[in-house]
Structure formats: C-alpha cells, structure tokens
Amino acid sequence: MTESQIANKRDISRLAIQKIISSSAADYLSKAMYDELNKLFLMENIDSRAINVSFRRKNVNTYGSGVAGLSLEWKDEPGEVQDEEGNIWAFSKFKLTLELNSSYGILEEEFKDRAWCIELVNELVDDLGPFVQRFRVMTHNNEQRIQRDMQRSRDAQDALIVKIISTHDGGALRRGLRAGGNARGVRKEVFAGVEPGYHVVSIYTGSHRNPTIRKYSLNIIESSRFAHLRRIT
C-alpha cells in the first residue's frame, strides 16, 4: 500500500485487528483482551477509536504479568484537497506506539517467556508495517461536500446575525422585543454581509447553570430598505 492509494480507515483498522488476533503474539492476549478486540472490530466508528493491545504472560493473572503493549490510532493531518469531481481528500496516518512493561529480579523461566513474547510482538510489528503509514482518505464525496459547505455557510450567517443583534448599539436591536410580538424594522445596512431571506437564530443568555434560550427571526427582503427582526420565544 502507498499513500497514493485510496484508503478506507475502517477497513484498515479492521485489517490491523485481524492481523493482531491471527498472529503468534495473540497467544499472549488474555481472554478479556481478545474479546475486547473482537468487540472493537464490529464497531461502526472503529476509525475514531484507538486500538490498544496488552500482551501478558500466558496463564498468569497476577500483578506485573504484563509484558508489552501497542496502540494504533488515526492521526488526521490539517488541510484538504478537492479533486476535479468535487470530492474532498485529506491525509491521515495510522500511528503505532509501543511500550514495554518493567520487571525486576525475575527467574530464568519468566525471563525467557517474556523475551519470547517480545520477539513475537516484534514480528507482529513488522507484519503491521503495510498499515502503519500515511494514507490518502476521501472525507466527503461531491454531494457530501456540497451539503457540508451549505451548512458551513448557514452557520456563518447565523453567527453573524447573532453577533449583530447582540452587540449593535449595545444590544439595542433586540431590547424591548417580546415573544410573539411585533417585528422591528431595522435598516438593511446594519445586517451587511447577511444574505436576503428568512433566518432563525438562538441567543443564549443567563448563567451556565441556568441558561435562557431566546429565538429570533430575521427577514431580509431584497427589494425592501428594512429588515424585520422579531422575537419568537
């Protein structure tokens, strides 16, 4: 696999888990660890979950029986690229980190068992090599990109409206408006940057413990000199 190939992060994560549980190092997985990996394999959001694996001495459940561990996690890079068909691509790396558990004053038998476990984990790391790299991933197809960009535009418009009616003349635009009452005419220039149309926004007031939500509608008609601001709730 190379970074120029199309990668589905969920498929890569599942292939990595298959490689782990089918490896010789899997002999050093506890039943609980094995069951956890199988459960993770079936999760729909596996690509947003870290794969944490602990290897322990076989048939030993005492404290300090852990030998080694590995973790696989997707790390998305900032930025995106749009292709000629309108699809959005980004780069993401399936990052591998490793750890060794400490042990002191152990007997020869345990030392050899730990050493063998580490050797098997090392072989597994080599087998995971094709998955542990930088991939090119499609984050949005053209239709999804259009929907995302439309939602971003709506969110930006709503944020601008909230800012204007909350701060213009110290909040005078909404002062005195009552829920279900008459609309207030406001010069359209006050809402410069807001597209014509009917908008509904929410403003949160009060404390964090007792927030109050007030909804306002703003109607901007292109042919009119005034926008109409109304409090809904």
Surface-to-core class of residue 183, CB atoms within 10 Å of its CB (0-12 exposed, 13-18 middle, 19+ buried) = middle
Q: What would the mean pLDDT of 185-207 be, rounded to a whole number?
A: 93
**Per 3-state DSSP, what percentage of the chain is helix, strand, and coil (rounded to 5)?**
35, 30, 35
Q: In what order do the strands lie in the sheet with 197-206?
A: 184-187, 226-231, 211-220, 197-206
- DSSP label of 229: E
Question: Are 77 and 91 contacting, i.e. CB atoms less than 8 angstroms apart?
Answer: yes
Q: What's the pLDDT tens digit per position in 83-142? A: 999 999 999 999 999 999 988 888 999 999 999 999 999 999 999 999 998 999 999 999
Question: Are 214 and 200 contacting, i.e. CB atoms less than 8 angstroms apart?
Answer: no
pLDDT band at 2 (very low <50, low <70, confident <90, very high): very low
**Measured distance CA(12)–CA(132) in Å, rounded:** 9
Domain ranges of the chain: 9-140, 143-231
Q: What's the pLDDT tens digit per position in 57-81? A: 987 777 778 999 999 999 999 999 9
pLDDT on residue 43: 95
Contacts 24+ apart (CB under 8 A), 150-159: 157/194, 157/195, 157/199, 158/199, 158/201
Q: What's the pLDDT tens digit per position in 139-176? A: 999 999 999 999 999 999 999 999 999 999 988 999 99
